[in-house]
Amino acid sequence: MNIENVFKNLEKLNLKVDNSSKFFETITTYQGGTKSLFKKLEELNNNVHKDIDYEKYEEKLIEYLDKIQSSINKDSLFNLTDEEYIKNFKISYQKIINKNIYIHRLEDERNLNKENLNEIEKIKNNIKEVKGSYELSKLHSEYQRRMKQVQTSTTKIEEYDKKVETNSKKISYPTLIDELLKDCSKLTEHLKNLTLTKETKDKVNNILMDMAKYFSEERTNIKNELVDYLELLDRAGLQKNINLEQKEEIELPKTVVKETPMDIKEKEVEETKEEPKVEIKETSLKVGDIVYYNGTQAYDNYSDTSRLDIEEPYKITKTGFDEKGNEIYYLDGNNYPVSVTLLETEYEKFNKNTSLHKGEKVYFSGIRDYNKYKDNLEIGKEYTIEKATLDEKGNEIYFLEGIDNPVSVTSLLTEYRWNEYMESLVNKRVINVTNPSKEVNKKELYAESLTNIVEKPTIGLSIKKAFSSIINKVKTCIEEIKQDLTIPEEEVIQNHKTR
Amino acid sequence: MSVDTIVTLGENKRYYLVDETIQADKKYFLGTRLKEDDNPTPESEIFEEFKANGNYYLTPVIEEEKLNSLAAIFLAKFKKLLEEE
């Protein structure tokens, strides 16, 4: 390789010579020659600058969480008595899921937008061809509807994009993985407080261990790739073209990974609530971090929730661990420790783990609440979310404009889902209303209709019994009607006269 | 929409609206599907009426609890109708 090509290749890789003598020594002595050196540099350069493969980690994360969920479900988690522990576990679990929600929602919106833009293009073409004014007006309405959806989607895409940018894209691979590992560690902490059978606990611990192992191996690989790259740059006398911040992150000592879920393997998890001794040398929150009280109840004997205000921001002044290894924090203005399970970060507070958010348009799904939230929503009416939050059990609840009571997420549909729902209702639309062409025997028809309804498999026994108690009367009634219809007219008149 | 009329839904499904009830500001109908000659079929539904985008829709109630309570209401109404004789 001549010198001109050498510099061309350096430029291509965005590399500059820092130490000429080192550089020329390396390119002349590198095993396999200059070409080999550049091939290696290119390979490592690509590795350390590659984009974060969120999808891969999301898939892996969801896979692990699904496994955990199904293991716990088998133990009838929701019938257990230790509500507080279950709540804390569920909150932590939900937080992990929701970290990825914007990415999915962004993708959904982009797909919807694409679909609408395609439709708009088709409509435009149709408008050119159609001549009838009725058809034109129909197409125009459809065009306007699609355009409106595109505008809404565009706003949402911008919003989600911003959130994804803020929350995900700026963090590097190692930071992302560290975050996942911290979550994994928190889950382990909560898990040990659940009254699960030994078998389930072991199973879930094993899943958490696998999860931690997978992510820590990923982290090690990334670290190794970066170290190799930096070493090669140094050896070749080239300037480091890698972000210093990223490098520092890589070099930070990370103990959480090895000392939380990984160590559980060595501990025997008992059927009782006895905590496994898990050593954590690094707290997930740091001195100076701003935190909020998350409104949950303390299950330890030192956190005093009565002195915490949900709306008040607190600065962490001291971090540590209690005798059970749980993270504890001292907050500015308070001289008593608070457990980590009672706190949430500023981000978590203002980006509540809800799938819908303030300002979003929603529709009633038609599903009534099965819990305490009594709604009185109308099908087909558009509502705007005024406040999105979670209740004490971690269920998503929403305050809607003009509606006094909170509404559960199960009762709501997004605009997109609503439109889908409406499309599915094509066959339920009333096309025409007419009067019957012949006289109808109301009682007979009523009886037949009820018979059909009562025969439905979802109708309860009490209704069936109530119906059968009056059915004889109905039958008699029908028989009488039928007899009346079969008696010759003269006889009816005669009978009437003799009465 | 009102009782004792015939509504035509999509796929040309025609229902005779036998009775109605209003519960929590929502209107429900007991309807029986009709054949082409206007004779009833053994297919009946309890419909919830709602209006959206300027159209009326009749959606069959399938939620178990709701269906049972509405069936009980229509049953009571039918009983009353018989007793009025």
Distance in angstroms (rounded) separating the CA atoms of residues A330 and A318: 5
Q: Where are the alpha helices (DSSP H) in A344-392?
A: 346-350
Amino acid at A97: I
Instruction: Number of helices (H) and strands (E) in chain A: give both, helices first.
Output: 17, 11
**What integer is the mean pLDDT of A28-44?**
83
How far does the CA of residue B53 sit from the closest CA of chain A (Å)? 8
pLDDT computed for residue B41 by the predictor: 93
Range A315-343 average pLDDT: 79
- What backbone torsions phi and psi does residue B22 show, to the nearest 5 degrees? -110, 120
Residue A249 has pLDDT above 60, yes or no: no
Nearest to B57 among A430, A443, A454 (CB): A430
DSSP state at residue A255:
-
pLDDT class of A485 with cuts at 50, 70, 90: low
**The pLDDT of residue B70 is above 50:** yes
CA distances from A176 to A51, A156, A171 (A): 12, 24, 6
More confident residue, A276 or A16: A16
Least CB–CB distance from B1: residue in A379, A433, A477? A433
CA distance A331 to chain B (A): 49
Contact at CB, B71 and A458, closer than 8 angstroms: no
Provide mean pLDDT across the span A472-483.
Answer: 64
Among the residue ranges A37-51, A117-131, A136-150, A269-283, the one predicted with the least confidence is: A269-283
Interface test with A, best of B68, B69, B73, B83 (most A CBs within 10 A): B68
What are the chain B neighbours of A376 within 8 Å (beta carbons)? 24-25
Strand order in the sheet with A396-400: A407-408, A396-400, A382-390, A361-364, A412-414
| Residue of A141, A437, A449, A467 best to disrupt the B interface, most CBs of B under 10 A | A449
Q: Which residues of chain B lie closer than 8 angstroms to A446, CB-CB?
A: 18-19, 30, 78, 81
The answer to whether the CB atoms of B38 and A470 lie below 8 A apart is no
User: Closest residue of B to A381, CA-based?
Assistant: B52
B11 to A427: CB separation less than 8 angstroms, yes or no: yes
What ipTM did this prediction achieve? 0.96
- Which among B43, B8, B48 is positioned nearest to A436, based on CA atoms? B8
Which A residues in the span 408-447 are in contact with B, Cβ-Cβ below 8 Å? 422, 425-438, 440, 442-443, 445-447
Under the banding of pLDDT at 50, 70 and 90, the label for residue A264 is: very low
d(CA A291, CA A267): 32
- Helix%, strand%, coil% for chain B, nearest 5: 25, 50, 20
pLDDT of A78 strictly over 50: no
Q: Does A473 touch chain B (CB under 8 A)?
A: yes
Question: Does pLDDT of A269 surpass 90?
Answer: no
Q: Which of A425, A437, A460 sits opposite B38 (nearest CB)?
A: A437
In which residue are the tokens 């480091």 written? A240
Q: Which residues of B touch A366 (CB under 8 A)?
A: 48, 59
Q: Report the chain B residue with the minimal C-alpha distance to residue A432.
A: B8
Predicted confidence at residue A257, as pLDDT, reads: 28
What digits encode the pLDDT tens for the residues A192-246?
Answer: 666 666 777 777 778 877 877 787 777 777 777 777 778 888 888 887 766 433 4
A116, A153 Cβ separation under 8 angstroms: yes
Q: Quick one: CA dihedral A116, A118, A122, A127, positive or negative?
A: positive
Which tops the pLDDT comparison, A490 or A437? A437
CB spacing of B75 vs A426 below 8 angstroms = no
For residue A265, pLDDT over 50 is answered with no
Nearest Cβ partner of A425 from B4, B40, B59? B59
- Spatial distance between the Cα atoms of A465 and A460, rounded to a whole number of angstroms: 9
Q: Which residues pair with A320 in a beta bridge?
A: A328
Question: Nearest CA to CA, how far is A460 from chain B (Å)?
Answer: 7
Which of B32, B58, B81 is closest, CB to CB, to A430? B58
- Higher-confidence residue of A425 and A58: namely A425
Enumerate the residues of chain A whose CB falls inside 8 A of the CB of residue B64. Answer: 458
Note the pLDDT of residue A58: 63
A153-157, A278-282, A387-391, B11-15: which range is least confident on average?
Answer: A278-282
The overall average pLDDT reported for chain A is 70
Q: Measured between alpha carbons, how far is A291 from A29 in angstroms, rounded to an integer?
A: 56
Judge: B71–A450 Cβ closer than 8 Å, yes or no: yes
Classify residue A171 by its DSSP letter: S
A460 touches chain B (CB under 8 A): yes
pTM: 0.37
Residue A441 zone, left/alpha/beta (φ > 0; ψ -120 to 50; rest): beta
Q: Does residue A439 contact residue B56 with C-beta atoms inside 8 Å?
A: no
Q: How many CA atoms lie within 13 A of A214 on its CB side?
A: 16
Give the model confidence (pLDDT) of A407-440 as tens digits.
Answer: 887 778 888 778 777 777 778 889 999 998 888 8
